Amino acid sequence: MKIVKKLFQAVCLAALFLSAGFLIYHMVYLPMENKKLVAELKGNFPEPEAPGASGSEKKDQPAGRKCPVATVDLVTLRKQYLDVQGWLTIPDTGIDYPVLQSEQENGEFYLKRNYKKEYDINGSLFLQADCKVSESRNLIIYGHNMNSGAMFGNLDLYADETYYQEHPFAYLQTEDGIQEYQIVTVQKADRDLFPFQQQLPDAEAVQEYLKAAKRREVFETGDDYLKGICDKVLTLISCSYEWSGARNIVLAVPVSGAFWAEKCS
């Protein structure tokens, strides 16, 4: 009887260590490796200095402002990694990643792959396959809701009004430059409740899209952004788990006059 008891205890202990190892591997090791990979990419392609300018003296900055986030040499980066369409940074949220895009025939290619096209459980942030980063009025970016906080693992924190107020701006760099966006509304919805995957043909459609989103927002955010003409929107999507198909949906609109066409870092 004692042998059976000891054997049972040994099995339980082994299961405990195995479970702990599994959690450490997925919650610590894999996210760390992913962050190293992204840091390596950003470090290998630093934004070059604009000719004749340095630091705060760089020219043509919006209203005399410095670009608030570090950027990359996207043109050179894309020569090696053509599927990188941009770089999304939301300060102090852990979101600071390249945005990938695959062919429409395999639109979720980067769901579980990194920018090197290698398998990665964290996946990548990726642009909806029918979006054109320089043309589309609705730029739809997806990312996993990782428990570790990697990718869009912290996007669901925007459902808290205080967090929303403390992290109001997102920065999307493309080959055209870097645009500052203000986060204006947050939802818990699905494709049926809010058809976030739609392409928007004109500024009027953008306004209707934003109005529809506002009717479903999780808390009141004000409506100043609906009083002007907004012709573009950034839609950030991750899974949520309140019901099958639920999504965290965060919408942001361009900040007028906050587009840096010049290189900045």
What's the whole-number mean pLDDT along residues 189-205? 96
Can you give the pLDDT at residue 228?
A: 81
Q: What is the residue type of 31?
A: P
Task: Copy the structure tokens of residue 217.
Answer: 């927002």
What's the whole-number mean pLDDT along residues 140-163? 96
Can you give the pLDDT at residue 31?
A: 62
Question: Residue 73: which pLDDT band, with cuts at 50, 70 and 90?
Answer: very high
Domain annotation covers residue 183: yes
Q: What is the pLDDT of residues 108-118, one digit of tens each?
A: 999 999 999 99
Give residue 237's domain range.
44-260
Write phi, then psi, for 248 (nearest 5 degrees): -85, 125
Q: Is the pLDDT of residue 12 over 90?
A: no
- CA torsion, points 41, 42, 43, 46, in degrees to nearest 10? 130
Domain annotation covers residue 191: yes
Mean pLDDT score across all residues of the chain: 86
In percent, the amount of the chain with pLDDT more than 90 equals: 66
Task: Copy the structure tokens of residue 66.
Answer: 């410095």
Of the ranges 31-40, 95-104, 199-208, which one carries the lowest mean pLDDT score? 31-40
- Measured between alpha carbons, how far is 58 from 249 in angstroms, rounded to an integer? 35
- Indicate the SS3 state at residue 73: coil
Can you give the pLDDT at residue 257?
A: 85
DSSP H or E segment with residue 185: strand 177-189
Predicted model pTM? 0.84
What's the whole-number mean pLDDT along residues 189-194? 96
- Rg for the chain, CA atoms, rounded: 21
Task: Copy the structure tokens of residue 64.
Answer: 């005399």
Question: Residue 7: which pLDDT band, with cuts at 50, 70 and 90?
Answer: low
| Side-chain half-sphere CA neighbours of 17 within 13 A | 6
Q: Is the pLDDT of residue 143 over 90?
A: yes
Domain annotation covers residue 13: no
Domain annotation covers residue 68: yes
Q: What is the pLDDT of residues 217-252, one digit of tens each?
A: 999 999 888 888 889 999 999 999 999 999 999 999
Tally the domains of the chain.
Answer: 1
CATH code assigned at 117: 2.40.260.10
The set of residues, in sequence order, having a beta carbon less than 8 Å from that of 105 and lying 6+ positions away, is: none
Domain annotation covers residue 218: yes
* Spatial CA neighbour of 144 closest among 94, 193, 206: 94
What are the strands, taking DSSP E only, across 104-210? 125-127, 138-142, 169-174, 177-189
